[in-house]
Structure 1
């Protein structure tokens, strides 16, 4: 049995990058929602913060759905 270390390293690198990007995107969504709540408490309207948060969550959902698609297909 022979292990292809280059391929294993490549898979590890892509997995790590995708994980960090997905967590960062979800965190940006949470920050956008908190900014929206803070702005509404002060009487302002933060439509862009809420829209950006929803866009981040939609991208997270799309990335997870694509990953599930790749596993199943």
Structure 2
């Protein structure tokens, strides 16, 4: 399955690799294996998502003073 998926993404011009093997997230699409049946992978997906958001959206964060809405 993995190699079939890699091939399909490659046909559309995307470089896909397992998230734990990627050195530059700007040039590769992260593949996070998950299994609802085994209950695995959700923690990894959340960790990758939060990490990417922190890294690439940091310049969009704003600090505000006052009560939360």
TM-score by length of 2: 0.39
- The structure where helix makes up a greater share of residues is 1
- The structure where strand makes up a greater share of residues is 2
TM-score by length of 1: 0.37
